[in-house]
Every structure is written in structure tokens, then in C-alpha cells.
Amino acid sequence: MIERLVLLGTKGGPALRPGGPMPTSCLIEIGGRSAVIDCGLGVTKGLVDAGLSLKGLDLVFITHLHSDHVLELGALIHTAWTAGLATPVRVFGPEGTRDVWAHFCRSLSYDIETRIVDEGRPDILALVTVTEFSQGRVFEEADLSVEALRVDHPPVTECYALRFNENGRSVVFSADTCHFQPLAAFAEGADYLVHEAMLLEGVDRLVARTGNGARLKEHLMASHTLAEDAGRIASDAGCAHLVLNHLIPADDPQVGPEDWERAVRTTWEGSLTIGRDGLELPLKRASAPRA
């Protein structure tokens, strides 16, 4: 297995616009496991385009239950099932994730029951296990572990950054959060910090296009991280590489990579990647196995 990090969708927020990027989701392949982080619209196509066999769907982690992070959870698993999935899938998410999956299956009960009888497929409900987590250790198997940190994303209280650790390697996903200083300690020494980012100069244009005026702007400013603050977290964490993701705005023609870099370089001097859909980043070679 190629060990890599793939940004499947890099847009912050649920709205889609012609020619624009898709909402946030990522793939990490590490330690012989494949893990999907968040399931915004487009995650299934993104995985296929990244070369992942849907029949091999393995681990899924949901950071929080905003629609741009969970809307395609059910559709991803169902589509994998129709593609031949016959092995267990483990889903990890905050409180309420079980209901999201159960209600999806209920809404498609006719299709699911028909395909089991007509096509001889295994029972999809028996294949999927949903584990709801809070702060702390989420997953541990062999040398791979995943830890969660509750971040500050009002009004959502159950929103979690995730840290993947395996044989001396680590990748941290900030999830959606305002500037949250404890994240620096959580991400200490990470090989990659995948952090959400917002560009102040684009907020008013985004609000004007989307609507809701002052209420939407108030939410954005209270619940998301300015690009320069993402740089501060990366600097304080001493991580090796900062990846900007969940970009706000992500589809403003007046905003380009140079604008993101200009903002971040006021606080971060290290390796930097501005996220785009389909971008693939290699993971460093693992440490020698422990004796």
C-alpha cells in the first residue's frame, strides 16, 4: 500500500458552485490501514479518483455532524456495498453518528432489502459498526492509534481534532475550529498538521454571495480560524508541514494561492501546502518496528 495523505475535498461549507471544489474530506493510508476523515459531498468520487477500491473501505472518522462533514457518510458506505464490499467497516464519530447511519439505512430500506434478496448481497447493517467517541483515545490496533481533542466550533460542542500516530509518524487534522491554542500541544511534532483556514479579505464577499448577512459573518468569525492563526498553531506545535484545508472562501475568483501564502507567512516559516481537491502528499518512511 502507498502510504499517503490525500485531500479529497478542500472547501469549507456545504454550498457548491460551478467549477468549484468539493466540501471537506481526506484519506490517510498509514500502517496498512485506510482511513477516511469526514464525508462531505464528493467523498465517494474523490476516493475512486484517488485509486482506492471501494470494496476495501476500512475505517471512517467523522469530526462533527455539520452537513459538509457527514452528508455523504451513508452514501459512501452504500455505494461501496453495491461495488462489492463484503468486509467490516468501522465508523467513529461523535454522539449522534449512530443516528445518522441508522436513519440513512431506514430511508433506503427498500433498496437495501431488495438488493440483499435479489442480488445476494450481505446484510449491510451487519457489516458496519459505529462507535461514538469523545475526547481521548479513539482507536488503537497494532502500531496505529488515533486520539481526539475537543476543539472550539460554536455552536457545535461535539467537534474533534484527530491525531493519527504510527511508528513515530503523526498526522493531525484540526477539524473545524476557531483559533484554539490547546491544539498546538495536541499537534506537537506532527509530520503534517491539516488545519482549516479562513481568509479575512474574502469573508464579506462570501457572505454577500451566500446570504444571511450579519448572522453568517458572525458565525464564521466565531467558529473558524484565520489563516495567520493556523500558522501560529503550526509554529507553536513545531510541526514539520502545515496543510491548509477547509478553505473559506475556497471558490472566490479574487483569491489565489498567493493570498493564502501571504497571510500564513506572517506567522509560519516552515513547509506549507495550500489545499486543493485531489492533492496527494507522501508520508515519511516509518520507523523500524519495535523489538
pLDDT of residue 271: 97
pLDDT of residue 188: 98
* CA dihedral of 180, 183, 33, 12, whole degrees rounded to 10: 20
Phi/psi at 229 (5° precision): -75, -35
pLDDT one digit per residue (tens) for the chain, 291 residues: 679 999 999 999 998 989 899 999 999 999 999 999 999 999 999 999 999 999 999 999 999 999 999 999 999 999 999 999 999 999 999 999 999 999 999 999 999 999 999 999 999 999 999 999 999 999 999 999 999 999 999 999 999 999 999 999 999 999 999 999 999 999 999 999 999 999 988 888 888 887 767 788 889 889 999 999 999 999 999 999 999 999 999 988 889 999 999 999 999 999 999 999 999 999 988 764 443
Contact 239, 191 (CB under 8 A): yes
H-helix or E-strand containing 5? strand 4-9
Cα 146 from Cα 279, distance rounded (Å): 23
pLDDT of residue 289: 46
Query: What's the sign of the alpha-carbon dihedral 138, 105, 8, 155?
Result: negative
Contact 279, 6 (CB under 8 A): yes
Instruction: List CB contacts of 209: < 8 A, sequence separation 6 or more.
Output: none
Cα 177 from Cα 161, distance rounded (Å): 9
Q: Which of 227, 163, 186 has its CA nearest to residue 28?
A: 163
pLDDT of residue 215: 85
Cα 238 from Cα 187, distance rounded (Å): 8
